[in-house]
C-alpha cells in the first residue's frame, strides 16, 4: 500500500500540471480571439455617377501587395484626349492617392479598435532568505499569475463601431476628392482647348493683317492712298504678332497645368485633341437642386452624424469601470504545497466618471448638426452661382453664334472687297477686321465659360448633366 504523503504529492503534481494547462489554454483562447478580429472590410463608398466608367486608384488592403497590384497608365505622346487625361489623373494624381491610403489607414485603425486587451502573465519569488524549516513563517514561495482586463459596457463593440464610421468618412473624403479631381481635369482640358483655338485665331489674324498690309503697300506704291495707311497696317500687324506670342505662352502654361493633374512636371503630349463643341439645352435650377443628393459633400453627413453619435455611446461606456481578473498558481517551497489564487479588482468611479468626455462628444454632435446645415447652404449657394454662370455663358454663346458672328463675317468680307475697289478706307477695313476677330474671341471665351460651368455643375450634383458616365463634353472623348 502506497504512503499517504506520496499520494498527496502525486495529486499536487497533477494539480500543478492541470493549472499550467489551464493557464496556457486561457492564453491561447485570447490569442485566437485577437487573431479572429484581424479582418477589415473596404470602406470605399459607392462611386457617384460622374466618371464611373473610368477606374480610379485604390491601394491594396495590405501594403506588401502594393508593388504587385500597382497599375500605371503611360502618359501619351502626341495628342491627348479628355478621356486619356481623366484616366491618367484618376490613377496617378498624388493627392487622390493620398486620400486612398488614408482609407486603408482607417481600416487598420478599425482593426486595432476591435482587438482585446492582451493578458498579462507574471512570476513572483518571495521570502527566499528565510529558514527552510517547516515551522518557518513566512515560507519561501513561487507564484505564477495570469491577469486579464474585462471591458464592461460594450466598450470594445462601441469603439470598433466608432472607428468603422471614421473609416467610412475617409471613404467619403476620397470620393469627394475623386469628383473634385474629375472636375479639375475637365476644366483644365477646356482651358487647353481654348488656348489652342485662341492661338489658331491669332495666326489667322496675322495672316489677314499681312494680306491687308500687302494690299495697302501696293496701293501706296500706285499712289492711290497715303503712306500713313501703310504705317497703320504695319502697326496692326505688329500688334497681332504680340497677341500671337502671348497666346503661345498661355498655351504652354495650359499644357503644364493639365500634365500636373497626373503628377507630371513636363508634358509629353503636344496638343489636346478636340474642340469646344456647341452648347446644349440646360435644365432648370429647380431640376438641378433635386439632384443635389448625389453630392458627396452632402451624402457624407449621414455617416458623420452617425459617427458622432457612436462617439457619445463610446464615451458613456467609458464611465463604466473595467474588471481585472487574476488567477494563478502558488507553490510553497518548504512544505511542497501547491495552491490556486484568484483575484478581482475594479476601479471605484468616485471622481472620474468621464463627465468631460461625454459632454465633449455631445457638444461635437451639436457642432456637427450645425456644420451639416452650413454645408447644405454652401452647396446650394454654389449651385446657384454655377447655374448663373452656366446660363449666362449659354445665352452669350448662342447669341454670338446665331446673330453676331454671321453679321461680322459678312461685314468684313464686304468692307474688305470694297477697299480693293476703293469704296472704303483703311480704317473701315481695320474696324471690320477688329470686330470680326473680337467676336470670334468672345465666342470662344463664351464656349469655354459654358464648358467650365458645366463641369462645375456636374461636380455639385455628382453626375453628368445629360446621360452617360463621362460628363463635361469638350470635343472628342
CA dihedral sign of residues 42, 47, 51, 52:
positive
What CA–CA distance (Å, rounded) separates 31 from 401?
74
Cis peptide preceding 83, ω within 30 of 0: no
What CA–CA distance (Å, rounded) separates 125 from 189?
76
Q: Are 392 and 448 in contact (CB under 8 A)?
A: no
Segments of the chain scoring below 70 in pLDDT = 1-43, 63-73, 129-137, 467-477
C-alpha cell at 433: 477686321
Residue ranges making up the domain that contains 301: 8-54+82-128+139-461
What CA–CA distance (Å, rounded) separates 472 from 459?
10
The alpha carbon of 159 is separated from its chain's Cα centroid by a whole number of angstroms, namely 25
Does residue 473 belong to any structural domain of this protein? no
Domain of 179, CATH number, reads 1.20.1600.10
Which one-letter DSSP state was computed for residue 114? Answer: T
Residue 207 burial by Cβ neighbours in a 10 Å radius (0-12, 13-18, 19+):
exposed
Does residue 1 belong to any structural domain of this protein? no
> Per the structure, how many domains does the chain have?
1
| SS3 call for 238 | helix
Which one-letter DSSP state was computed for residue 262? Answer: T
| SS3 call for 148 | strand
Does residue 476 belong to any structural domain of this protein? no
Which residues are CB-contacts of 209 (< 8 A; sequence separation ≥ 6)?
233, 236, 237, 240, 433
Does residue 383 belong to any structural domain of this protein? yes
Does residue 328 belong to any structural domain of this protein? yes
Would you state the pLDDT for residue 63? 66
pLDDT tens readout for residues 103-112: 999 999 999 9
Taking each continuous run of H as one helix and of E as one strand, the counts in the chain are 11, 6
Does residue 77 belong to any structural domain of this protein? no
Would you state the pLDDT for residue 448? 96
Would you state the pLDDT for residue 65? 63
Could you tell me which of 103, 97, 117 has the C-alpha nearest to residue 164?
Answer: 103
Does residue 471 belong to any structural domain of this protein? no
Q: Are 198 and 250 in contact (CB under 8 A)?
A: yes
Does residue 106 belong to any structural domain of this protein? yes
C-alpha cell at 134: 517547516
Q: Are 329 and 19 in contact (CB under 8 A)?
A: yes
Would you state the pLDDT for residue 138? 72
Which one-letter DSSP state was computed for residue 326? Answer: E
List own/partner pairs for 28-37 with CB under 8 A and 24 or more apart: 30/116, 30/118, 30/119, 30/148, 33/116, 34/115, 34/116, 34/118, 37/111, 37/114, 37/115, 37/116
| ∠ CA 298-301-305, rounded to 5° | 165
How many C-beta atoms lie closer than 10 Å to residue 401's C-beta? 16
Would you state the pLDDT for residue 72? 62
The alpha carbon of 73 is separated from its chain's Cα centroid by a whole number of angstroms, namely 19
| Helix ranges restricted to H, 37-81 | 66-69
Amino acid at each position: 500500500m502506497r504512503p499517504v504523503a506520496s499520494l498527496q504529492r502525486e495529486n499536487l503534481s497533477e494539480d500543478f500540471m492541470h493549472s499550467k494547462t489551464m493557464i496556457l489554454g486561457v492564453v491561447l483562447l485570447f490569442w485566437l480571439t485577437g487573431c479572429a478580429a484581424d479582418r477589415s472590410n473596404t470602406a470605399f463608398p459607392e462611386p457617384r455617377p460622374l466618371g464611373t466608367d473610368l477606374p480610379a486608384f485604390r491601394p491594396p488592403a495590405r501594403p506588401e501587395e502594393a508593388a504587385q497590384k500597382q497599375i500605371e497608365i503611360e502618359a501619351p505622346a502626341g495628342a491627348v484626349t479628355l478621356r486619356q487625361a481623366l484616366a491618367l489623373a484618376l490613377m496617378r494624381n498624388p493627392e487622390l492617392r493620398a486620400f486612398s491610403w488614408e482609407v486603408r489607414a482607417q481600416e487598420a485603425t478599425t482593426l486595432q479598435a476591435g482587438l482585446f486587451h492582451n493578458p498579462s502573465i507574471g512570476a513572483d519569488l518571495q521570502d527566499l532568505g528565510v529558514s527552510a524549516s517547516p515551522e518557518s513563517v513566512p515560507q519561501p514561495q513561487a507564484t505564477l499569475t495570469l491577469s486579464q482586463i474585462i471591458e464592461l459596457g460594450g466598450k470594445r463593440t462601441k469603439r470598433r463601431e466608432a472607428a468603422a464610421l471614421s473609416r467610412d468618412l475617409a471613404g467619403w473624403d476620397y470620393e469627394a476628392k475623386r469628383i473634385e479631381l474629375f472636375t479639375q481635369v475637365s476644366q483644365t482640358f477646356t482651358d487647353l482647348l481654348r488656348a489652342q483655338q485662341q492661338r489658331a485665331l491669332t495666326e489667322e489674324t496675322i495672316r489677314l493683317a499681312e494680306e491687308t498690309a500687302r494690299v495697302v503697300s501696293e496701293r501706296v506704291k500706285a499712289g492711290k492712298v497715303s503712306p500713313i495707311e501703310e504705317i497703320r497696317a504695319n502697326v496692326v500687324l505688329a500688334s497681332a504678332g504680340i497677341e500671337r506670342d502671348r497666346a503661345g505662352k498661355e498655351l504652354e502654361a495650359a499644357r503644364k497645368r493639365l500634365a500636373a493633374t497626373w503628377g507630371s512636371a513636363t508634358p509629353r503630349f503636344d496638343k489636346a485633341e478636340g474642340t469646344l463643341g456647341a452648347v446644349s439645352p440646360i435644365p432648370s435650377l429647380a431640376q438641378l437642386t433635386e439632384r443635389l443628393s448625389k453630392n458627396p459633400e452632402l451624402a457624407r453627413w449621414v455617416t458623420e452624424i452617425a459617427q458622432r453619435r457612436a462617439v457619445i455611446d463610446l464615451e458613456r461606456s467609458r464611465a463604466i469601470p473595467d474588471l481585472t481578473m487574476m488567477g494563478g498558481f502558488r507553490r510553497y517551497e518548504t512544505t511542497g504545497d501547491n495552491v490556486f489564487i484568484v483575484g478581482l479588482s475594479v476601479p471605484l468611479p468616485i471622481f472620474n466618471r468621464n463627465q468631460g468626455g461625454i459632454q465633449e462628444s455631445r457638444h461635437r454632435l451639436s457642432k456637427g448638426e450645425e456644420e451639416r446645415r452650413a454645408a447644405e447652404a454652401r452647396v446650394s449657394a454654389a449651385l446657384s452661382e454655377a447655374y448663373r454662370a452656366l446660363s449666362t455663358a449659354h445665352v452669350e454663346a448662342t447669341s454670338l453664334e446665331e446673330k453676331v458672328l454671321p453679321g461680322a463675317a459678312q461685314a468684313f468680307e464686304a468692307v474688305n472687297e470694297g477697299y480693293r475697289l476703293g469704296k472704303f478706307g483703311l480704317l473701315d477695313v481695320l474696324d471690320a477686321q477688329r470686330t470680326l476677330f473680337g467676336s470670334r474671341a468672345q465666342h470662344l471665351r463664351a464656349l469655354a465659360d459654358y464648358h467650365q460651368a458645366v463641369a462645375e455643375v456636374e461636380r455639385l450634383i455628382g453626375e453628368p448633366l445629360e446621360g452617360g458616365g463621362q460628363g463635361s463634353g469638350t470635343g472628342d472623348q
